[in-house]
């Protein structure tokens, strides 16, 4: 049976926090970053923090999402690691507290079939400041891991993230990895990686 590798996106698979990039275009970067930092440190509830941050984006034109997509950079070693895992017939999946519209082209580029992220509401080509449907919080991430494990009949699950929002999935995986992570996640992970190169994961498999 194949292994299942589940990755967080913001500050894990990519170098940026997408919500911060969107906030910069809305002129609310400092306010949003402060909420992001508190959420990732586990000081405030992620669902509430996401609602607060998205509300600050109300009125942004929807095409900003395309611009932000072009500002994203993959973390060092991400492309190489994913290609190596896929060549070994392992399954690579992604779960994100970010936004589907921004990460979807990247998922297609990396040949990642299984992914889950938040949906921004767009009306009349503008962000409404709301999220559609269930918010991808720490419980939703862990639930996604379990759902994939059952559906794919995986022999082993490996989950990698960087923030408090990843605690449940990292704790639940057969191997939980904290990648350049906040102390709250490091405390529950079996592996802590400080070097910002995702190929470091291969040393711990």
Which stretches within 7-63 are classed as H helix?
A: 18-26, 29-40, 46-55
Q: Do 72 and 63 meet the contact criterion of CB atoms below 8 Å apart?
A: no
Which H or E element spans position 177?
Answer: strand 175-179
DSSP summary character for residue 201: G
Burial letters 86-117, b for 16+ CB under 10 A, else e: eeeebbbbbbbbbbbbbbeebbeebebebbbb
Residue 199 DSSP class: G
Q: Is 10 a catalytic residue?
A: yes
Let me know if 153 is a catalytic residue.
Answer: no
> Among the options 10, 20, 137, 143, which is catalytic?
10
Give the integer Cα–Cα distance in Å for 190 and 192.
Answer: 7
Question: Which of the residues are catalytic?
Answer: 8, 10
């Amino acid at each position: 049976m194949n292994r299942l590798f589940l990755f967080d996106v913001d500050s894990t698979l990519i170098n940026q926090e997408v919500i911060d990039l969107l906030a910069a275009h809305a002129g609310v970067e400092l306010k949003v970053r402060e909420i992001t930092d508190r959420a990732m440190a586990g000081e405030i509830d992620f669902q509430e923090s996401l609602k607060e941050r998205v509300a600050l984006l109300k009125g942004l034109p929807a095409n900003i999402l395309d611009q932000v997509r072009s500002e994203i950079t993959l973390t060092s070693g991400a492309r190489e690691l994913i290609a190596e895992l896929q060549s070994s017939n392992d399954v690579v999946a992604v779960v994100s507290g970010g936004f589907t519209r921004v990460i979807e082209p990247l998922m297609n580029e990396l040949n990642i079939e299984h992914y889950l992220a938040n949906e921004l509401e767009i009306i009349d080509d503008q962000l409404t400041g709301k999220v559609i449907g269930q918010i991808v919080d720490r419980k939703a991430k862990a639930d996604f891991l379990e759902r994939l494990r059952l559906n794919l009949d995986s022999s082993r699950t490996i989950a990698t993230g960087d923030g408090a929002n990843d605690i449940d999935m990292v704790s639940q995986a057969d191997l939980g990895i904290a990648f350049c992570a906040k102390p709250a996640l490091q405390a529950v992970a079996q592996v802590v990686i400080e070097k910002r190169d995702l190929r470091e994961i291969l040393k711990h498999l």
